[in-house]
Structure 1
Amino acid sequence: MERTSVKRNYVFLAIMLGAMVAGAAVGWFFPVVKDADGTVLEAGATIFKPLGTVFINLMFCIVVPMVFASISSAVANMKSRRRAGKIMGVTVATFVVTGAIAAVIMFVLMRLFPPVLTPWTEFQTGEMGDYASLSELIVNFFTAEDFVGLLSRQAMLPLIVFSLLFGFAVNLTGGGETLVGKFLDNLAEVMLKFVQLVTYYAPIAFFGFFADLVATYGSQIVENYVRALAVYYPLCFLYIFTAWPLFAWFGGGKGAVKTMFAHIAKPAIVSLGTCSSVATIPTNMEAAADTGISKDVTDMVLPLGATMHMDGSCFSCVLKIAFVFGVFGQPFTFSQLVPVVLVAVLSSVGMSGVPGGGYIGEYIICSIFFADHMEIAFPILVTIGNLVDPPATMINSAGDYVASFLVSRFVDGKNWLQRAGRQL
């Protein structure tokens, strides 16, 4: 990547960071004012929220056709079906292994620094509502009731399954030489250009995001959660500068760490600002293309990662479990390591890549560990989830780009980066 290109990217990132800081400052000085009944008296900086909503809505409108086109095109144009299967297998294995590593790290930290030292004496109950059975949840993870149901960001995993099968069907009927194969390839390129156009609006959007966020929640950080956040937030940034370089080095060899850090900032900032793995897919694809990662690897790893690669969610899942164990005064010991790690990985895989994605993970945790106290545990878990959502999404989303290094090693060989000639 040329130095001028790197400089241009970081200038744009600096503009976005400046917009975020400016938005946070405005939100701090103009917070929401409510009366004793919770009625809003002054909206404060939340009036800027539509600026961010426009951006994320545009991204969500782009993502559905982009995911369909990129995955279908990648599979349809595969010269070797064996390669397609290999990429899929390595991708899923990579996501599970990195998620388990993240869960074990957080488990050890929770043993060393328990988030709740004294059991709570008063609990806040909440509405649990009606929830599907476990079998229904599994069905809904992978399928939609009809084709129209696929055309929604809330059905990302069913859309990915459909796109994979559609791509294999095209591959079996002629692949990239067919009109459908060429159309899918061209559509993927068009959607990437579309993303570039929308990205120019990003600084204004980030100003709106952070003005609303700080104005709404800045003064509501409850003291009981501070200890948990004091562990979680530093861990996320420590993970970025320890685990990610190790993954990049193992996946790309010489020069990979420097190359990874040269491209990771933009996906990290976008994910931190939007709190959405799905909205970060286009930016991840740009970074992967600039790095020289094979297009078929990129087109499969990154969309799948938006719903299946959740290292940050594995962190938060273990934190939530340890937190509620402390609330109820229950011991949190190493004898629980295996079930906690399994739940963390399984509940994270299949989560939606959208903000506040339905609280499926919280429900799974409650149903397994706190089935007799779900009405108490559920609102506690949701609160923690909301507080750690930005850094968790950053680890999830930007980590998809890092995971593509690992997949590339096993699919294209350990010297793939050197052959691509993109290392800095």
Structure 2
Amino acid sequence: MQNKLSRFLENYGGILLLLLGIVLGSIVGVFFPEAVGWLKPLGDVFLNLLFAAVVPLLFFAISSAVANIDGSQKLGRIISVMAGVFLSTIVIAALCTMVVLWFFPVEAPQVPAESVSELLQAGSDDTWGDKLVRFVSVDEFYKLLSRENMLAFVIFSFLTGVAAMRSGQAGDSFRKFLSSGNEVMKHLLILIMKIAPLGLGAYFAYQVGTIGPELFGFYAKPLGLYYLLGAFYFLVFFSLYAYIAGGRSGVDRYWKNNILPSATAISTCSSIATMPVNLAAAPRMGIPASVANVVIPLGTTLHKNGSSMSSIVKIYVAFVLIGRDFFEPATLITALGITVLVSIVAGGIPNGGYIGEMLMISVYGLPTEAIPAVMIIGTLVDPIATLLNATGDTVAAMLVSRFALGRKGLNTEGIENG
């Protein structure tokens, strides 16, 4: 019993502490609204630390990942098909979420107009060309270090990784520096996140104190929509993917062997912890070892259906809070791009979803007041998001087997006789 309790606290302790901070902050906001002005600086300090850490963290995470690709990881047919499957399923998950939010919109709590007036006016005179140039490039190196130019910084980090990868033996020291820097920045983020319950609790107290208790009802609907959509996607779309890969027998074999991975994902809230169970289940699903040993480990970092869906929900919630239209074509296209980028980049970073939120806020130019809302959403959807992220890797491997190796890619004989 004690071991079970210890494992539970290890896996969910961070979420429970964050929820405790939110609850206490809400109580303060409801009963002591005059005190929220004193608490808001605590939230500001936490958010400033995150913003300060996100630039070097993204640089080391992206550049080190690209720089350390070796010859055995170069794109062959399996890798090419895997990239297509990963991208397709991530985009499908995002589009499904957009459709659901379109049909079931969320009403925003009343927010003082002056708090967002500057935001609504910002960039209104920019042309499409101006916006494109500003998003993807800067004219001075120092501007890359600003979170206002995050996409340009991501592109620069990727190109740095490519250059380091191609530099051969002369770049060994630099590649080691990138890997070492990546580990250091991961631990820095872990340290910063230890004060998340205090920082977000203080910000939530401020939101409740200024917007009012109606904020609770506002969070309930997007959370409910996410859980219902997540369950639907898990059962229906994963079954569809398994059917495309292996027919009815593929569906049967997938679900028969997906019970333990699903339980592991929910109980640990960790895609990495689920990876060994996925690898063990893969042969019983008919996935060849040559595919499973490539797709599942890489999928743990790069393939995240649950994160794709939650990213769209977070962006939508932020837009609703500030009174902007989420369903403008430019906003939707940008949201898809951010979702794909977050699903790929943030996977190898502890609490990587929070880095995605920083990227989202920076790209759209949203006020920092929107960050606590999207962080809270991200935390509360974590169990089912992990379920979709982790168990989606095996069904993706089934699809890769089908499209990379042909109709006989899956071990269909084993499926039929299993």
The reply to whether TM is greater than 0.5 is yes
Is 2:179 the partner of 1:147? no
Whether 1:240 aligns to 2:217 is no
Which secondary structure state, in structure 2, belongs to the residue aligned with residue 360 of structure 1?
helix
The equivalent residue for 1:360 is 355
Cα deviations across residues 45-88 of structure 1 (Å, max 9, x unaligned)?
A: xxxxxxxxxxxxxxxxxxxxxx9xxx989x49xxxx9xx60011
How far apart are the structure 2 equivalents of 1:279 and 1:151?
Answer: 23
CA contact (8 A) 1:87 1:407 kept: yes
**Partners of 2:226 and 2:86 in 1: CA distance:** 20
Q: CA 1:136–1:338 in 2, change beyond 3 Å: closer, same or farther?
A: closer
- 1:400 and 2:393 correspond: yes
Identity %: 31
Within 2, Cα distance between the matches of 1:282 and 1:151? 26
Q: Which one of 381, 396, 399 corresponds to residue 388 of structure 1?
A: 381
User: Match of 2:250?
Assistant: 256
> Is the 1:252–1:416 Cα contact (8 Å) retained in structure 2?
no
Alignment correspondent of 1:322: 316
**Cα distance in structure 2, aligned partners of 1:154 and 1:116:** 41
- Contact kept, 8 Å, 1:248 with 1:406, in 2: the verdict is yes
In structure 1, C-alpha distance between the alignment counterparts of 2:363 and 2:250, rounded to whole Å: 40
Q: What does 1:13-92 align with in structure 2 at a 5 Å threshold?
A: 75=72, 85-92=76-83
User: For 2:227, what is the secondary structure of its paired residue?
Assistant: helix
**Residues 297 and 407 in structure 1, CA contact (< 8 A), matched pair in contact too:** yes
Q: Are the aligned partners of 1:154 and 1:354 in contact in 2 as well (CA < 8 Å)?
A: no
Residue 361 of structure 1, CA deviation = 1.1
Counterpart CA distance in 1 for 2:264 and 2:313 is: 24
User: 1:273 deviation in Å?
Assistant: 2.2
* Counterpart for residue 346 of structure 2: 351
Amino acid at match of 1:293: I
Shift of 1:312: 0.9
Higher helix share: 2
Cα distance in 2 for partners of 1:222, 1:394 equals 25
- Distance in 1, Cα, partners of 2:333 & 2:154: 23
Contact 1:271 1:279 in 2 (8 A): yes
- The CA deviation at 1:330 is 1.6
| TM-score, length of structure 1 as denominator length | 0.60
- Normalising by structure 2, we get a TM-score of 0.61
Cα shift readout 1:275-329 (whole Å, capped 9, x = no counterpart) = 2222222111111133231112111111211121111111111111111111111
Question: Among 105, 115, 119, which residue is 1:114 paired with?
Answer: 105
Report the 3-state secondary structure (helix = DSSP H, G, I; strand = E; otherwise coil) of the residue aligned with 1:359.
helix
- Answer whether contact 1:264 1:398 (CA < 8 A) is retained: yes
Of the three residues 335, 342, 348, the one matched with 1:340 is: 335
Gap runs ≥5 in structure 1: 1-15, 39-66, 156-212
* Alpha-carbon distance between aligned partners in 1 of 2:350 and 2:274, rounded to the nearest angstrom: 12
Aligned positions, number:
301
- Structure 1 residues 357 and 337, CA gap change in structure 2 (3 angstroms): closer
Q: Is the 8 A contact 2:286 2:411 kept in 1?
A: no
Partners of 1:346 and 1:34 lie apart in 2 by 34
Partners in 1 of 2:180 and 2:293 — Cα distance?
19
For 2:280 and 2:97, locate their aligned partners in 1 and report how far apart those are by CA, in whole Å.
31
The alignment status of 1:274 with 2:232, answered yes or no, reads: no
Root mean square deviation of aligned Cα? 4.1
- What secondary structure, in the 3-state scheme, does the structure 1 residue paired with 2:347 have? coil
How many Å separate the matches in 2 of 1:241 and 1:388?
17
Q: Answer yes or no: is the 8 Å Cα contact 2:302–2:343 preserved in 1.
A: yes
Asked if the contact 2:261/2:277 (under 8 Å) is kept, the reply is yes
- List per-residue Cα deviations over 1:94-132 (Å, max 9, x = no partner): 0111111111110011111123344434989xxxx9859
